[in-house]
């Protein structure tokens, strides 16, 4: 099982994420640390679920920009849309 410190080291965001940017978050409760299975954004001092827009009731202890995920159907890693947008602008 990963330790709290190892998980925190993987979530390297400092301060608040850029406005409107969706990120992955690491949360903590009395049972330990866990990554939420959906992306979130931070606005007006609160974390929100990207899909529902609802405010999180979890304690966020770290964040990071979304990582590429393996796409089982195509056999390749998919990139978050902001990465694809940035790459196409070069």
């925190």: which residue's tokens?
8
Distances (CA, A) of 3 to 9, 36, 50: 10, 17, 27
Token pair listed for 69: 């995920």
59/32 Cα distance (integer angstroms): 11
pLDDT tens for the chain, 90 residues long, are: 678 999 999 998 889 999 889 999 999 999 999 999 999 999 999 999 999 999 999 999 999 999 876 655 555 555 554 444 444 444
Query: pTM score > 0.85 for this model?
Result: no
């609160």: which residue's tokens?
46
């Amino acid at each position: 099982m990963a330790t709290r410190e190892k998980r925190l080291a993987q979530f390297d965001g400092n301060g608040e994420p850029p406005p409107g940017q969706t990120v992955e978050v690491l949360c903590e409760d009395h049972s330990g640390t866990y990554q939420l299975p959906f992306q979130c954004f931070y606005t007006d001092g609160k974390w929100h679920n990207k899909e529902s827009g609802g405010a999180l009731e979890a304690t966020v202890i770290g964040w990071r920009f979304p990582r590429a995920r393996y796409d089982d159907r195509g056999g390749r890693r998919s990139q978050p849309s902001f990465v694809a947008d940035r790459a196409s602008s070069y």
